[in-house]
């Protein structure tokens, strides 16, 4: 009975706009006092501290830092120039460039909001200058950045791996095919829309330009090779790979390109530290609730209940998809992962779903969640850069969300799409 | 903040380099994880100052102004109450740890390591109080 009250109390606090991390903490402390009086209270700070001591999560601030360094030293600008030389000649060229650069960029930075801020601040104004509507510009930038969630390295994937016990590296590998596929499909849709709306190409194709921009961006292109090569080959762990990313970005930015905007870097580091702390506080207070829920066997009972209705993997996945799409409307992806993963994991395992496969389904769901208002961090960032209204952008964005949903269905019901590389190299 | 983030990055880099060079620093991952916890608690206070903590404001925003202000008071009471409790329990913990050192890192006093929780909690309360006037006027204005 206490469980029900605790969960209801948690919901009430969240609805009253108490920060989710604090709501988690309060609900768990209340549960503790109800169950065993004041005896266990002194354990609260210990559990809180130990909840934050997680070596694998060090990758989160480090990948954010790597992204900040890259932005501060002009790596994003060079990537945009190269992609523009390669695919800018087709109709709707700048939209293609946005999607293409997002694909590249997602391989170095770990966060979709960071991507949309970095690329959008350059590409959305140029699209507007070329006569694209601001709604289209914001929509394409926002949807393309969502790919960062499923293309390695990805902060939501790291969080999921830590909360569920799945391997970070396998999660990263599973994201490759769906990510590239999603990027290509987005390009097809953007092309169709560009033709219909008469958006121009960016520039004519010239080998000379490709050669020049390639030479300029070559070092930047080395970054994903170093980071992902190091992680996938098992040479370094994901966390160490994140450290390597910071080092490589700094060396290339300060040593090779010799342009590092210190002021911007400082701001970005503080911003990154705050983002990290927000997520980490959630992780640590969820450790409090986790202890309580595990002791009360809540996740196991929930799994048993649901599986007594149906034991089909596909039905369970369908239910979870609906559940996560609904949650994605209202919750930030990190909060959703931390709240929900510990509760549904036993269900996923008992239904015989591979945790890596499920992780990718979850990542895609929450990625779509970032595109759907009211709570849509990526979309809102894009809208504020484009100075466009959220609902107007959303109307254009429906087509792109359709693509993401198609990829989600494919990943959910054809497990080979995410899993074939994982099976080939790691199992 | 910058200090902790940059030392975290450098520590991980040095840790990898030393492992690859053949002499593993056994303490590096543990110290790095502790730094992450520090980043969490000090950063969380800063995030409170900047209104950066994740929540669900939509329902409250839809409420009439009066109810909104009442909910804000309730919210602040809950937040400050939780962190005051954490700070209090944290000080008790520090007192209990006294002069002990970490088992794995005998040169590091446990009190210093765990101090991040009570100190961070006190800072959180202070930052929350500093940010309150802005929140209040935000609710009153709309």
Q: What is the pLDDT along chain A (427 residues), one digit of tens a residue?
A: 677 888 888 889 988 888 989 999 998 888 888 887 787 788 888 888 888 888 888 888 888 888 878 878 888 788 888 888 888 888 888 899 999 888 877 766 667 777 788 888 889 998 998 889 999 999 999 999 888 788 888 888 999 999 999 999 999 999 999 999 999 999 999 999 999 988 888 777 888 999 999 988 888 888 888 888 888 888 888 888 888 888 888 888 888 888 877 887 888 788 888 888 888 898 888 888 888 888 888 888 888 888 888 778 888 899 889 888 888 887 888 888 888 898 899 999 888 899 999 999 999 998 898 888 877 888 988 999 999 888 899 999 999 999 999 999 999 999 999 999 998 888 7
The verdict on A86 touching B (C-beta cutoff 8 Å) is no
Residues 216-245 in A contacting B (C-alpha not used; CB under 8 Å): 236, 239-240, 242-244
Contacts with A284 from chain B: Cβ below 8 Å:
37, 40
Residue of B nearest to A25 (CA): B82
Going by C-beta distance under 8 Å and a sequence separation of 6 or more, which residues neighbour residue A114? A64, A67, A68, A71
C-alpha closest to that of A333 among A288, A305, A367, A287: A367
**B51 in helix, strand or coil?**
coil
In contact, A144 and A183? CB cutoff 8 Å: yes
CB atoms within 10 A of CB B97: 17
pTM: 0.87
Gap between the Cα atoms of A343 and A82, Å rounded: 45
| Secondary structure of residue B24 in the 3-state scheme | coil
Q: Give pLDDT, residue A295.
A: 80
Question: What's the DSSP call for residue A199?
Answer: P
- My answer on whether omega of the bond before A153 falls inside 30° of 0, hence cis, is yes
Residues A99 and A86: their CA atoms lie apart, in Å, by 13
Phi, psi of A54 (to 5 degrees): -130, 110
DSSP-H helix ranges across chain B: 2-20, 28-49, 58-62, 65-97, 110-114, 116-141
Asked if residues A393 and A139 have their Cβ atoms less than 8 Å apart, the reply is yes
Mutant choice from B13, B15, B16, B36 vs A, greatest count of A C-beta within 10 A: B36
Residue of B nearest to A277 (CA): B40
Q: Which is nearest to A24 in space by CA: A57, A53, A1, A47?
A: A47
Closest by CA to A347, choosing from A333, A362, A363, is: A362
The predicted pLDDT at position A110 comes to 62
Q: Say whether the ipTM exceeds 0.85.
A: yes
Per DSSP, the three-state class of A111 is coil
* Residue A13: strand, helix, or coil: helix
Residue of A208, A158, A83 lying closest to A333 (CA atoms): A158
**Segment B25-42 mean pLDDT:** 85
Contact B86 A335 (CB under 8 A): no
DSSP state of A297: T
């Amino acid at each position: 009975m206490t469980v029900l009250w605790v969960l209801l109390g948690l919901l009430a606090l969240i609805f009253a706009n108490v920060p989710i991390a604090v709501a988690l903490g309060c609900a768990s402390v209340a549960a503790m006092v109800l169950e065993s009086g004041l005896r266990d209270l002194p354990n609260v700070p210990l559990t809180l501290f130990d909840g934050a001591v997680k070596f694998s999560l060090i990758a989160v601030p480090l990948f954010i830092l790597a992204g900040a360094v890259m932005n501060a030293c002009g790596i994003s600008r060079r990537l945009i120039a190269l992609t523009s030389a390669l695919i800018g000649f087709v109709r709707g060229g700048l939209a293609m460039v946005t999607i293409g650069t997002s694909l590249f960029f997602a391989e170095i930075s770990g966060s979709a909001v960071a991507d949309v801020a970095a690329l959008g601040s350059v590409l959305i104004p140029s699209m507007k200058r070329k006569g694209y509507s601001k709604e289209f510009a914001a929509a394409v930038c926002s949807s393309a950045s969502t790919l960062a969630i499923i293309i390695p390295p990805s902060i939501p994937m790291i969080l999921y791996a830590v909360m569920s016990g799945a391997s970070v590296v396998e999660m990263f590998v599973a994201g490759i095919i769906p990510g590239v596929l999603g990027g290509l499909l987005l390009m097809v849709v953007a092309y169709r829309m560009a033709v219909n709306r008469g958006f121009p190409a960016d520039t004519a194709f010239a080998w000379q330009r490709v050669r020049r921009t390639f030479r300029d961006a070559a070092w930047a292109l080395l970054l994903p090779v170093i980071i992902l090569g190091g992680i996938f080959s098992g040479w370094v762990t994901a966390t160490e790979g994140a450290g390597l990313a910071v080092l490589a970005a700094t060396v290339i930015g300060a040593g090779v390109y010799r342009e590092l905007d210190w002021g911007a870097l400082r701001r970005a580091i503080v911003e990154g530290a705050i983002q990290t702390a927000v997520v980490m506080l959630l992780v640590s207070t969820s450790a409090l609730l986790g202890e309580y829920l595990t002791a009360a066997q809540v996740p196991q009972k929930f799994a048993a209940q649901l599986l007594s209705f149906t034991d089909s993997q596909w039905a369970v996945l369908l239910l979870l998809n609906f559940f996560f799409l609904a949650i994605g409307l209202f919750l930030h992806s990190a909060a959703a992962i931390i709240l929900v993963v510990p509760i549904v994991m036993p269900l996923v395992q008992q239904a015989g779903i591979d945790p890596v496969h499920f992780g990718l389904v979850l990542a895609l769901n929450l990625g779509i969640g970032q595109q759907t208002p009211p709570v849509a961090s990526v979309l809102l960032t894009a809208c504020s850069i484009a100075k466009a209204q959220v609902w107007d952008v959303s109307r254009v964005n429906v087509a792109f969300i359709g693509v993401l949903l198609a990829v989600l269905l494919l990943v959910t019901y054809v497990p080979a799409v995410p899993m074939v590389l994982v099976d080939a190299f790691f199992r | 903040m910058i200090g902790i983030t940059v030392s975290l990055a450098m520590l991980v880099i040095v840790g990898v380099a030393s492992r690859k060079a053949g002499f593993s620093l056994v303490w590096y991952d543990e110290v790095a994880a502790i730094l992450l916890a520090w980043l969490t608690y000090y950063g969380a206070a800063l995030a409170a100052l900047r209104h950066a903590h994740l929540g669900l404001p939509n329902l409250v925003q839809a409420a009439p102004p009066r109810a909104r202000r009442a909910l804000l008071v309730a919210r602040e009471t809950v937040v400050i109450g939780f962190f005051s409790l954490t700070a209090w329990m944290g000080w008790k913990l520090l007192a209990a740890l006294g002069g002990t050192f970490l088992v794995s890192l005998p040169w590091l006093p446990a009190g210093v390591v765990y101090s991040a929780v009570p100190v961070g909690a006190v800072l959180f309360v202070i930052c929350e109080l500093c940010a309150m006037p802005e929140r209040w006027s935000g609710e009153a204005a709309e």
